[in-house]
Amino acid sequence: MISVVLLGAGNVATHLFKAFQKSEDVVVKQWFNRHLEAIQTYKNEVEVTDALSDLKEADVYIIAVSDDAISDLSSELPFRGRLVVHTSGSVGIHDLDKKNERGVFYPLQTFSKDADVDFKNVPICIEVIDKEHLKVLKSLADALNSKSQRVNTNQRRALHLAAVYVNNFTNQLYRVAHEITESEGVDFDILKPLILETAKKVQNLSPYMAQTGPAKRNDKRTIKKHLKLLENEHHKAIYELLTSSIQHTHGRKKL
């Protein structure tokens, strides 16, 4: 049984808590947050606290707070020599205070509080300084039924950057598409099968091979029609930038 103390009350911390509660191999001994009201609703399931001085001893302390707060929180921990990990994709392992053993337990997934997450579909990227801590973090991932992979800092940061492209930027493109369909009174839901098929394609094809559309074909007439339809200059700039990027990738002449 691995004992855990959670620090933070954001989306990642909340989903980790719920997943750990379902595991027979993990016990959450305590949940800390500076603002107790954020975790007060869980007080009947776990001991909650807003005092660092009251933290209990555990096998792993998981810092799941905003990136900017990780370093300061790790420095404020009132103990030494214990295993402290953070869950960020972009923060370095050495940003954790060296008074404790350091690691990273990075779930490579998007988390929203109102959306259920199956950790079977959440790869865990693990980074450690001392190899002796690899086993406990792998066991922690196993307890979530997640596949784990050891990465170094550069690999993890590259994965986080790539994740911004495939998740955050893609979601913003969905938002632009939603605005476009709304402007003509068309239900955005009609695009959802296309969204799913696009995601399905790259499970078996490389993104390069899966690419279709007017930019890849260098269909200048269609591209010009699309640009004429776009009244929002911001949307037009995005269209032109992505079209240019696709043309560059596939060796097409630009407009």
Tokens of 186: 């068309």
pLDDT tens, position by position, 201-240 = 999 999 999 999 999 999 999 999 999 999 999 999 999 9
What is the distance between the alpha carbons of residues 82 and 59, in angstroms, rounded to a whole number? 7
pLDDT tens, position by position, 41-64 = 999 999 999 999 999 999 999 999
Parse the chain into domains and list their residue ranges. Answer: 2-151, 156-249
Say what the pLDDT of residue 92 is.
93
| Cα-based torsion angle of the residue sequence 216, 222, 228, 229 in order, rounded to the nearest 10 degrees | -90
Question: Would you say residue 252 has pLDDT above 90?
Answer: no
Strand order in the sheet with 26-32: 48-49, 26-32, 2-7, 60-63, 83-86, 101-107, 124-128, 148-150
Tokens of 27: 């016990």
Domain topology for 156-249:
N-(1-d-carboxylethyl)-l-norvaline Dehydrogenase; domain 2 (1.10.1040)
Q: Report the chain's mean pLDDT, rounded to a whole number.
A: 93
pLDDT tens, position by position, 21-45 = 999 999 999 999 999 999 999 999 9
Q: Identify the band that residue 253 occupies on the pLDDT scale cut at 50, 70 and 90.
A: low
Q: How far is CA 201 from the centre of its chain?
A: 22
Mean pLDDT value of segment 6-30: 93
pLDDT tens, position by position, 65-102 = 999 999 999 999 999 999 999 999 999 999 999 999 99
What would the CATH number be for the domain defined by 2-151? Answer: 3.40.50.720
User: DSSP of 23-34, one letter per residue?
Assistant: -SSEEEEEEE-S
**Cβ-defined contacts of 247-252 (< 8 Å, 24+):** 247/215, 247/216, 247/218, 249/208, 249/211, 250/211, 250/215, 250/216, 252/215, 252/216, 252/217, 252/218
